[in-house]
């Protein structure tokens, strides 16, 4: 595990915060359809970023 790789993946998790803000803003404005889409986007972004972080931290396939 490289410190640079781990740092890169942690920074990429910031996208999750942006997606959470999208959900929050749409719910606050009563835009339920857009909020639903934002939740789908949030789930996809979180899954991708979490996989990248886990692979970096645990060594990916090396520990399978």
The domain ranges of the chain are 3-59
Q: What is the 3-state secondary structure (H, E, C) of the chain?
A: CCHHHHHHHHHHCHHHHHHHHHHHHHHHCCCHHHHHHHHHHHHHHHHHHHHHHHHHHHCHHHHC
At 58 the pLDDT is: 84
HSE of 50, CA atoms in CB hemisphere, 13 A: 8
Average pLDDT, the chain: 89
Task: Quote the CA–CA distance of 48 and 15 in Å, as a whole number.
Answer: 10
For residue 61, pLDDT beyond 70: no
Q: What is the pLDDT of residue 4?
A: 85
pTM across the whole model: 0.78
51 within 8 A of 9, measured Cβ to Cβ: no
């Amino acid at each position: 595990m490289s410190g640079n790789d781990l740092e890169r993946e942690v920074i990429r998790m910031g996208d999750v915060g942006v997606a959470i803000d999208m959900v929050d803003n749409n719910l606050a404005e009563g835009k339920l359809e857009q909020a639903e889409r934002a939740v789908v986007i949030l789930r996809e972004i979180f899954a991708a970023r979490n996989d990248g972080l886990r692979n970096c931290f645990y060594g990916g396939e090396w520990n399978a």
